[in-house]
């Protein structure tokens, strides 16, 4: 596939990557079970959303989505800067999601504090019986991979993308056969009428012909 044809796939991958990061942030990441079932209002497992387990994903996802429009209209030099930024954003998404999956107890600690009023790393750890991850942390990882991959594609092919441009067409002043269009004739007649009124306002008769070579006034129209 040519470099020019890689523009659309790269932009679509950026949309998907930023969208997955933002969507996963709003979904449940862990099903949390506490040692004291009475700590929750219903005694059931506590759903911990991505907004608690990995709060940075919201800003990262929005930044990824904002890059789409910027990449589409930027020139080659700016596009390279944006591509580097996209790779960094994707890496940050991977880091944020990976840290939550790597240490789920730390990720759910704010939720434990909200449910029990107990704060501190060691006390909250003792209250957690299990923290079962859902599929949404993995979706966030996929989003990060897409952002990194799209950024690399832009770095490799972005300088050869077709430039965004606008084509302006001048108004047609003549018909296909070379005659003046009716619209143009109408405008010309209107201009002549205005000129006649201007002459009348100055006291001149627009129907008078200019003087001839002998100095005598010309005949009226």
Is residue 74 predicted with pLDDT exceeding 80? yes
Residue 172: φ, ψ to 5°? -80, 125
Q: Which residue has the higher pLDDT, 57 or 215?
A: 57
HSE, side-chain direction, 13 A CA sphere, residue 166? 3
Q: Of residues 37 and 14, which shows the higher confidence score?
A: 14
Check if the beta carbon of residue 154 is closer than 8 Å to that of residue 79.
yes
| pLDDT over 70, % of the chain | 69
Q: Where are the domains of the chain?
A: 4-160, 172-221
Cβ neighbourhood burial of 186 (10 Å; 0-12, 13-18, 19+): exposed
| Tokens describing residue 103 | 């240490």
> Dihedral through CA 58, CA 64, CA 14, CA 87, nearest 10?
-110
Higher pLDDT, 211 or 180: 211
What confidence tens digit (pLDDT) does each residue in 114-144 have?
877 777 777 777 788 788 999 999 999 999 9
172 or 140, which is more confident:
140
Segment 37-44 mean pLDDT? 53
Strand order in the sheet with 28-34: 46-49, 28-34, 128-133
pTM: predicted TM-score of the whole model, two decimal places: 0.69
The per-residue pLDDT for 196 is 63
Of how many residues is the chain composed?
221
């Amino acid at each position: 596939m040519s470099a020019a044809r890689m523009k659309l796939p790269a932009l679509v991958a950026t949309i998907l990557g930023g969208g997955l990061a933002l969507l996963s942030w709003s979904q449940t990441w862990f099903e949390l079970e506490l040692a004291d079932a009475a700590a929750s209002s219903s005694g059931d497992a506590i759903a911990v959303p991505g907004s608690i387990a990995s709060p940075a994903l919201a800003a990262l996802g929005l930044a990824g989505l904002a890059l789409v429009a910027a990449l589409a209209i930027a020139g080659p030099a700016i596009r390279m800067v944006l591509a580097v930024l996209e790779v960094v954003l994707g890496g940050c998404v991977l880091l944020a999601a990976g840290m939550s999956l790597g240490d789920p107890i730390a990720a759910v600690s704010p939720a434990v504090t909200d449910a029990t009023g107990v704060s501190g790393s060691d006390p909250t750890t003792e209250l957690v019986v299990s923290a079962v991850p859902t599929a949404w942390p993995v979706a966030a990882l996929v989003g990060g991979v897409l952002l990194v991959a799209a950024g690399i594609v832009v770095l490799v092919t972005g300088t050869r993308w077709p430039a965004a441009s606008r084509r302006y067409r001048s108004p047609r002043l003549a018909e296909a056969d070379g005659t003046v269009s009716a619209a143009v004739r109408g405008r010309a007649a209107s201009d002549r009428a205005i000129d006649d009124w201007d002459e009348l306002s100055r006291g001149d008769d627009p129907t008078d012909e200019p003087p001839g070579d002998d100095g005598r006034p010309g005949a009226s129209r």
